[in-house]
Homo-oligomer: A and B are copies of this chain.
Amino acid sequence: MTEIPAEILEAIALDANGLVCAIAQQHDTGEVLMQAWMDREAVARTLESREVWYWSRSRKKLWCKGETSGQTQALVDLRVDCDGDAVLLLVDQKGVACHTGRRSCFYRAARDGRLTEIAGVVADPKMLYGDS
């Protein structure tokens, strides 16, 4: 178990599953890249290593962003919201944040009653995650 400084730990309100909502934003452009979840250990490792860790709800395990794809997130600043149930991660995203090969996961916009793709694939997912 990695330690979190007490003042920071106290400010974070984990939900019934022990998780806090995490939003990753590119620190210099302001682009919102992705939303995921962190448990206490993910917060601790992120603060200590300055590389972003999340908790995967589907795989039920900690993962370091980019551990498979190489598309890492270096932490620039971690911010906590007013009621402590969300954190904003200012990061320096290497390559793409989305597993589809797009820079941001938020690449579809609701416009004129349709869902429109507003960002293209810039990295081949097969290159990021392998063929199999």
Residues on A facing B (Cβ under 8 Å)? 5, 7-8, 11, 21, 23, 25, 29-32, 34-35, 47, 77-83, 85-88, 98-100, 102, 105-111, 113-115, 118
- Copies of this chain, count: 2
Q: Are B34 and A81 in contact (CB under 8 A)?
A: yes
Q: Are A107 and B79 in contact (CB under 8 A)?
A: yes
Q: Are A80 and B32 in contact (CB under 8 A)?
A: no
Q: How far apart are A117's CB and chain B's nearest CB, in angstroms?
A: 10
Given known A-B contacts A21-B21, A88-B106, A98-B82, A77 and B35 have beta carbons under 8 A apart: no
Cβ-closest chain B residue relative to A46: B110
Given known A-B contacts A113-B5, A113-B8, A108 and B86 have beta carbons under 8 A apart: no
